[in-house]
Amino acid sequence: MRIVLRSIGIPNDKLEDNNCKLSKMPSAAATQALIAIRGAISTLNNTSDVCADIDEAEDDLPEAFHEVAKTIPLVEHTLQTIKGHIQSRKQKDETQEDRDAYQEITDVANECDARAGRLEKICGKVIPSDETPLMDRYRSAAGKGGRVELLMKGILEGVIALAKEPFVSEDQAKALREALKIISKLPPSLQEENGAHAFYNYGSGPQSIHLGVGDQNINTGQAPQFNGQFMAPFQLGSFAPVL
């Protein structure tokens, strides 16, 4: 849309200059996309700093933390590239396709910002501040469905949806897809708590677990074991009567 300024006493050359400047300004849709992208980039940058602090402080982090930390700069760079393209686009040259793309960019960038913000909070709480074990701090901060690799997977999936020309080169899009493959193949950084029982035996002896109903008969010695319900004594070889 071309806005023409008219005012008595303003020279025509000044009017033309003002109209030219307005035509170069981003549209409302482009402005919203730029605001969302800047917010996401800022949060990702903060998250990257916090992840670096964890790397320095902890030696036994799950692999997912390291991969997430390595992936954040790639996402930042992609968003910077998209932002640069939007800024270079003149309002007078915008098409309806551009405006639709700007709306999608706004939505994805806002989701990215939210996920990155959650990553930042989780990583911040994992940084040691007391004697609580690292994984206990992580589980408490993550809650249900808050594993760091899942958050990064969501970020990548959103940005990949935007990673198409003219906003992003094919090489950048390929790098994002490769990063998503790596993140998707990571072992879970936390085991989901679903109410199931887990038993661990760190000793050398047997571990006998019975969570059902009925009898459980266990023989850890070398003599035979006879199971059943007997109404009278019986004799077997040299063994004493079993009642």
CATH number at residue 72: 1.20.1410
Determine contact, residues 61/149, Cβ cutoff 8 Å.
no
Tokens of 216: 């459980």
Structural domain includes residue 87: yes
Three-state DSSP state, 60: coil
Write the pLDDT tens digit of every residue in 75-111.
999 999 999 999 998 888 888 888 899 999 999 999 9
| Count of the separate structural domains present in the chain | 1
**Whole-prediction pTM value?**
0.69
Rounded to whole angstroms, what are the CA distances from 172 to 163, 180, 208? 7, 13, 55
**230 occurs within a structural domain:** no
Q: What is the pLDDT at residue 127?
A: 80
- φ/ψ of 93, rounded to 5, equals -95, 0
Dist. CA 96–CA 42, nearest whole Å: 29
In a domain, 190, yes or no: no
Instruction: Give a yes or no: residue 64 inside a domain.
Output: yes
Q: Is residue 233 part of a domain?
A: no
106, 32 Cβ separation under 8 angstroms? yes
- For the chain, the residue count is 243
| 2, 23 contact by CB (below 8 A) | yes
Per the structure, the complete domain to which residue 119 belongs is given by: 12-184
In a domain, 7, yes or no: no
Q: What is the sign of the dihedral through the CA atoms of 79, 81, 84 and 90?
A: negative
Which of 6-20, 113-127, 217-231 is the most confident on average?
113-127
> What is the pLDDT, as a whole number, of residue 59?
65
Distance CA 38, CA 182 (A): 26
Which secondary structure element, helix H or strand E, spans residue 44, and what is its range?
A: helix 28-57
In a domain, 213, yes or no: no
Average pLDDT, integer, range 186-214: 61
Tokens 């968003």 label which residue? 79
**pLDDT tens track for 138-174:** 999 998 878 999 999 999 999 999 999 889 999 999 9
- Grouping H, G, I as helix, E, B as strand and the rest as coil, residue 242 is strand
Asked if residue 236 is part of any domain, the answer here is: no
pLDDT in tens, 214-239: 667 776 766 667 676 656 665 655 55
- Mean pLDDT, range 188-203, rounded to an integer: 58
